């Protein structure tokens, strides 16, 4: 992390860092969802399936397809000290199971979107959601995330969390469309050069 300071935007240290010459080099956010609206989630999945996609949970046999999706999208992920996403090797993707559950959107046999979620401290915590560029802004990310939330509701988890880089406004809006509420904003400061 070097000399970076990652501070919640409501923290009085922000003013101290700025007075000391630190500058904001990135911002990030966290959102939470409590007691989701099942009909809203089901509607997000329906919209994608009416558009011809199949939305379903993926098992470890889909690791190669998820690796291809992630490798294709790696350049599009914001890379900041607070929001770094590293795809790694196929073995890293294979290692997602069984600690995580993966939900995907398929156009025929092609994986075009996916989300990875796990239970963490009583929350369904989304690690990442990934959608091929040509399928973005069509509700694919919302659909896979909605499917994951519905699956977790079925096992009694009713609280959800995720986060991302402020530069990825589409991700924040997709989460808000499913009922997530912005709970935190963070600033990444670097010393003056």
Q: Where are the domains of the chain?
A: 37-190
The pLDDT of residue 83: 82
The pLDDT of residue 2: 58
B/e letters for 141-161, b = 16+ CB within 10 Å, e = fewer, are: bbbbbbbbbbebbeeebeebb
User: What is this structure's pTM?
Assistant: 0.91
Q: How far apart are CA 141 and CA 129, in angstroms?
A: 7
The CATH superfamily holding the domain 37-190 is: Gcn5-related N-acetyltransferase (GNAT) (3.40.630.30)
Dihedral over alpha carbons 80, 135, 30, 153 (to 10 degrees): -140
Query: Residue 1: pLDDT band by 50, 70, 90 thresholds?
Result: very low
């Amino acid at each position: 992390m070097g000399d970076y300071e990652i501070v919640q935007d409501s923290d009085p240290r922000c003013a101290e860092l700025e007075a000391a010459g630190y500058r904001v080099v990135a911002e990030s956010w966290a959102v939470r969802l409590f007691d989701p609206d099942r009909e809203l989630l089901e509607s997000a999945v329906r919209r994608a399936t009416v558009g011809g996609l199949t939305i379903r949970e993926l098992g470890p046999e889909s690791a190669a397809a998820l690796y291809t999706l992630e490798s294709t999208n790696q350049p599009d992920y914001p890379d900041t000290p607070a929001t770094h996403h590293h795809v790694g090797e196929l073995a890293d993707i294979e290692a997602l199971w069984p600690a995580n559950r993966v939900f995907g959107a398929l156009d025929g046999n092609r994986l075009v979107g996916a989300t990875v979620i796990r239970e963490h401290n009583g929350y369904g915590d989304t690690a990442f959601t990934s959608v091929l560029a040509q399928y973005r802004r069509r509700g694919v990310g919302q659909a896979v995330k909605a499917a994951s939330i519905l699956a977790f509701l079925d096992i009694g988890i009713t609280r959800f969390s995720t986060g991302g880089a402020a530069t990825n406004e589409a991700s924040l809006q997709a989460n808000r469309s499913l009922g997530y509420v912005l709970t935190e904003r963070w600033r990444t400061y670097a010393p003056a050069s």
